Amino acid sequence: MQVRIADSWKPWLQAEFEKPYFQSLTEFIRQEYQSQTVYPPGRLIFNAFEHCSFEDLKVVILGQDPYHGPGQANGLSFSVSEGVRVPPSLVNIFKEIQEDLSKPIPKSGNLERWAAQGVLMLNAVLTVRANTPRSHRNKGWESFTQSVVQLISDQKEHVVFMLWGKDAQERGAVIDREKHLVLESAHPSPYSADKGFFGNRHFSQANAFLEAHQLPSIDW
């Protein structure tokens, strides 16, 4: 696996790529792509960093695994590309935005429009075997994404972290809650959305926090 990552992130993450755990992860991922069907396509593994620069980052949404169906995963957590049917979790996210902000539900599930405004949509695990959820867990990705969260917490000011579900909340243990806003709730999956995701009002809370710190709000 050749790590291609946006220039704005390279100086911050280069040392991480050289650590032993990441070298082992790289070898595992290389073998998986050679022998299995793996999502997202290799060129999109670090797509979240391509669309949200370190300098512009204002919000972090932490997901779990990438989507594991054909044509779904595009490297941004919860997002799908143009023309792909909107998955159930994202349908629920759009429903919460509609309820929270009175915005119409969009037809497209492509969330690059959020990334362009400074929203980093990062999964805890960046790859997955086709039709096999959780298949790339505990291979090293969690250490990498934990380091990214730690980096953002340490180096940035006034970031909003949206942690939906247990996996995301575990990654959030390292966040400095004195200077950042951490919003936690159930995951938007149909299995758990009615256990605290619906009604969490995270999107209006995020914008209120950003505006209170003289930062542009997000057009959700």
Does 22 score more than 70 pLDDT?
yes
Confidence of residue 2 (pLDDT cuts 50, 70, 90): low
Neighbours of 71 (CB within 10 A): 14
Does 1 score more than 70 pLDDT?
no
**Beta bridge pairs of residue 164:** 185
Q: What is the mean pLDDT of residues 81-109?
A: 97
Q: Is 65 a catalytic residue?
A: yes
What pLDDT shows up at residue 4? 74
Which amino acid type is present at position 112? E
* Percent of all residues in the chain with a pLDDT value above 70, rounded to a whole number: 99
pLDDT tens digit sequence for 47-70: 999 999 999 999 999 999 999 999
What pLDDT shows up at residue 167? 85
Q: Which of 7, 56, 65, 176 is catalytic?
A: 65
Q: How far is CA 11 from the centre of its chain?
A: 20
pTM of the predicted model as reported, rounded to 2 decimal places: 0.95
